[in-house]
Amino acid sequence: MQACTKPIRFQNASVNLANREILPSLSPVSIKGTHGRTRRITDFRIRPWMSNEIIVGYVDGSVRLFRYNNSKKSIDDTISIYPSNSSEVSSVRTGPNDCFAFTLLGNAADAGSLYVGHGAMPVVYQVPLNRRTSIWTSSMSHNTSLIALGSSRSVIVVSGLDDGNAQNLMDIKTSSDVFVTHADYNESSSILYGCRDGLVRLFDLRSRRSRCGFKFHLSSSVCHIEQIGSWYLLTSAMNGSLELWDPRYISIPVIKFNDHPDCDQDGNSSTVDVNEDLSR
């Protein structure tokens, strides 16, 4: 199964796997809170190398793996990957070579943190970060073992996730908190990020400079960035604006929509076909 290129919507305490266009082998089912209590889901991902497995992160900081049995149309097994914590799970991501990662936001008592796991019975370990900070979001490269963490006034890039030797590669300073990171589909050394102050920037990891690549500003805090086709970027902001950009002509958006009803900081503000080539 290929990696899922469209997000599946989640709401409150359940994940609904009902989009057969994305998951043609699955029948609709819901994953809900267990042990008699409801916990809000903050993020989840389907493992591309184990297409019947879903990794789910919760507001109480816990992470669980669900195995789906299509013939029975039910959840066969549930594995606790990480116990409840004082901080909520801010992102769950999957990458190459059966690797996955999740981040904890952090709070006044504990800093944000990054955890990486591998295998059918996942072994999870914490990756030490160079500084104490909140972790708002993350993005894993589909081609390399990189993850870009959106933190307080910086993008933290960590490499070596797939071989158990993860290490801090770079700390990209920003003027505002980073709410969105996005690994470039076309160039594995490039990272897109979006900030609380509306800045969207492309950074080339080969540069080692604090500033490189194009940049532009949205009218509000950035909550989503997605690449479409060969050139285009779709962005959404917390004030409800939805804009399509051509990085070759970055002065103004190609298309702009206002009052989009579903823009939020969870990074699931829009669902798009990333393979659509708008240049044709």
Listed by start position, the domains of the chain span: 10-226, 227-280
Contact of 203 with 194, CB cutoff 8 Å: no
pLDDT digit string, tens, across residues 144-195: 789 999 999 999 999 988 777 888 989 999 999 999 999 887 777 889 999 9
Q: Is 27 helix (H, G, I), strand (E, B) or coil?
A: coil
Alpha carbon of 66 to those of 21, 266, 269: distances in Å? 21, 21, 25
Q: What is the mean pLDDT of residues 11-23?
A: 45
CATH class of 10-226: mainly beta
pLDDT digit string, tens, across residues 29-61: 556 554 545 678 999 998 887 778 899 999 999
Q: Is the pLDDT of residue 274 over 70?
A: no
Which residue did the predictor score with more confidence, 21 or 76?
76
Alpha carbon of 228 to those of 244, 247, 254, 276: distances in Å? 9, 12, 13, 6
Q: How many residues does the chain have?
A: 280
pLDDT digit string, tens, across residues 62-114: 999 998 887 777 787 889 999 988 899 999 999 887 889 999 999 988 999 99
pLDDT interval class at 218 (50, 70, 90)? very high
> What percentage of the chain reaches a pLDDT higher than 70?
77
DSSP secondary structure string for all residues of 32-46: ---TT----EEEEEE
Contact of 201 with 191, CB cutoff 8 Å: no
Which residue did the predictor score with more confidence, 167 or 265?
167
Residue type present at position 263: C
Distance (Å, whole) CA 213 – CA 231: 14
What is the 3-state secondary structure of 195-212?
Answer: ECCCEEEEEECCCCCCCC
Q: For residue 138, which of 91, 77, 206 has the smallest C-alpha distance?
A: 91
Contact of 98 with 119, CB cutoff 8 Å: yes
Distance (Å, whole) CA 144 – CA 175: 27
